[in-house]
């Protein structure tokens, strides 16, 4: 194994602490006659099991891990491959050499080491049957794609087939964490990357939101233009709480992720990092929505100035592959007071300038979509629609609406959120 990994060229930049390189080092010492290696081998097997649990790998964990390495390794070749079809060039000689090595690693025989060290761990991980539960959470967007690549390499008859599988994977799904994950948050800890994958984004769809058809249509039109490389606008979803603003944006991510859409969740205390975030994603072959939920500012908060500078302004324009989608209960985002408009204060000689500065932030969102509380009739339609999706809920229409009306009076009034909470309550009672 050590001889194989030492000959890598394009994929030579693997971390020395990676499972593959650690096992290669162990094998090198094993080939030199060292035999007190069982503990070190099992340490790497434990790490491999951790990776497999995190991503829901199954069956041949060794193959899945190697496919994961290929899928996550960012090199000039892999980054170019996600943007265009493979082209003839000298680098392909090195790539094919490396992929030939990976194919040999796929077929590597661990049996002799297992016998000498009195182990059976490699035999187990090459025919592994995970005990999964319905509620188990792992990164499905990575899991499914990596295991698909693993199977293709397993079935490949020669290095040309491996090359086609790997480059096809890069072109279809991309490479690295930005390619394989749907959504990201900004790292807060010292040992975290700037962008950290969000492993569970939910499976909500736009059709799950009952009503608001015009709002969803406008959101779809803008997003489709964006993912297709046409001109599109930043979007502000404003209006009453609980009406589906945040759910709409999450559903948009699920709908257009296969088309290359990615989402980065940013909070206002992280706005100073916006330029750094954009710099990391601007040259990638994906479309990024920077998502700001429940965005609003008090008079004393000045973070909105960073946001204004990023949206419009500065010498470097916002890249074409980046848009900002925000939700807010306030249309103008920044709290206004009569103090801004009246002449009571003598601190500011240009009252209109003060007001215009605050209004200018929301004006930078070219598409503004209002989500407002449903009427009593619309609320009942939402309740009926949610109940119809749960056939196990045994209740008459009259009783359903009677209880729904009583529920909304005690739980925040008419909104889609209130309707869903009511249905969840009924389902909980029904389960008992």
Band (pLDDT 50/70/90 cuts) for residue 132 is low
pLDDT at residue 165, as a whole number: 95
Q: 308 vs 186, which has greater pLDDT? A: 186
Separation of first and last alpha carbons in the chain: 57
pLDDT of 138 higher than 90: no
Q: What is the spatial distance between Cα 106 and Cα 149, in angstroms, rounded to a whole number?
A: 12
pLDDT at residue 201, as a whole number: 79
In order of 415, 422, 424, the CA distances from 209 in angstroms are 11, 15, 15
10 and 80 Cβ atoms separated by less than 8 Å = no
86 and 79 Cβ atoms separated by less than 8 Å = no
pLDDT at residue 344, as a whole number: 46
pLDDT at residue 63, as a whole number: 96
pLDDT of 343 higher than 90: no
Band (pLDDT 50/70/90 cuts) for residue 135 is very low
Q: What is the spatial distance between Cα 188 and Cα 200, in angstroms, rounded to a whole number?
A: 18
73 and 11 Cβ atoms separated by less than 8 Å = yes
Tell me the percentage of the chain whose pLDDT exceeds 90.
45
**What are 225-246's pLDDT values in tens digits?**
999 999 999 999 998 888 889 9
**What are 148-158's pLDDT values in tens digits?**
999 999 999 99
Place of tokens 């330029």: 275
pLDDT of 280 higher than 80: yes
Which of 189-198, 335-344, 370-379 is predicted least confidently? 335-344
Closest C-alpha to 308, from 361, 238, 235, 354: 361
Buried/exposed code over 119-131 (b: 16+ C-beta within 10 A; e: otherwise): bebbeebeebeee
69 and 14 Cβ atoms separated by less than 8 Å = yes
Question: What is the distance of C-alpha 391 from the center of its chain?
Answer: 32
Q: What average pLDDT score do residues 41-66 get? A: 93
Q: What is the spatial distance between Cα 39 and Cα 394, in angstroms, rounded to a whole number?
A: 57
Element housing 371 (H / E): strand 367-371
pLDDT at residue 156, as a whole number: 94
**What are 77-105's pLDDT values in tens digits?**
998 888 877 667 788 899 999 999 999 99
């Amino acid at each position: 194994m050590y001889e194989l990994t030492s000959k890598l060229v394009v994929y030579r930049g693997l971390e020395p602490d990676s499972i593959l390189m650690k096992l290669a080092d162990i094998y090198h010492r094993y080939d030199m006659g060292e035999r007190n290696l069982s503990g070190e081998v099992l340490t790497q097997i434990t790490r491999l099991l951790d990776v497999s649990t995190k991503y829901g790998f199954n069956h041949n964990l060794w193959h899945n891990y190697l496919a994961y390495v290929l899928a996550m390794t960012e090199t000039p070749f892999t980054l170019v491959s996600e943007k265009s079809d493979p082209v003839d060039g000298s680098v392909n000689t090195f790539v094919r050499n490396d992929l030939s090595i990976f194919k040999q690693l796929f077929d590597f025989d661990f049996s002799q080491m297992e016998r000498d060290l009195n182990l059976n761990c490699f035999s187990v991980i090459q025919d592994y049957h995970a005990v999964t539960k319905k509620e188990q959470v792992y990164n499905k967007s990575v899991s499914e794609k990596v295991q698909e690549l693993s199977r293709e390499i397993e079935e490949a008859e020669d290095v040309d087939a491996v090359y086609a599988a790997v480059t096809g994977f890069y072109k279809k799904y991309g490479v690295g964490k930005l390619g394989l994950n749907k959504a990201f948050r900004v790292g807060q800890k010292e040992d975290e990357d700037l962008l950290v994958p969000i492993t569970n984004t939910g499976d909500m769809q736009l059709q799950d939101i009952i009503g608001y058809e015009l709002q969803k249509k406008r959101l779809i039109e803008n997003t489709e233009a964006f993912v297709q490389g046409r001109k599109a606008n930043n979007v502000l979803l404003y209006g009453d709480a609980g009406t589906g603003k945040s759910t709409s944006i999450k559903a948009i991510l699920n709908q257009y992720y296969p088309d290359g859409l990615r989402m980065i969740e940013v909070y206002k205390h992280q706005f100073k990092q916006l330029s750094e975030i954009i710099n990391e994603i601007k040259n990638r072959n994906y479309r990024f929505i920077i998502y700001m939920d429940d965005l609003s500012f008090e008079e004393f908060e000045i973070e909105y100035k960073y946001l204004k500078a990023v949206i419009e302004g500065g010498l470097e324009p916002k890249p074409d592959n980046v848009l900002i989608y925000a939700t807010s209960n306030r249309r103008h985002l920044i709290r206004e007071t009569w103090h801004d408009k009246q002449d009571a204060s003598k601190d500011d000689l240009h009252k209109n300038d003060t007001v215009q500065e605050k209004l200018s932030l929301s004006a930078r969102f070219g598409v503004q979509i209002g989500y407002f509380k449903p009427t009593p009739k619309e609320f009942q339609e939402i309740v009926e629609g949610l109940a119809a999706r749960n056939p196990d809920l045994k209740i008459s229409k009259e009783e359903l609406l009677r209880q729904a009306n009583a529920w909304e009076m005690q739980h925040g009034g008419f909104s889609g959120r209130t309707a869903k909470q009511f249905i969840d309550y009924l389902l909980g009672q029904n389960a008992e």
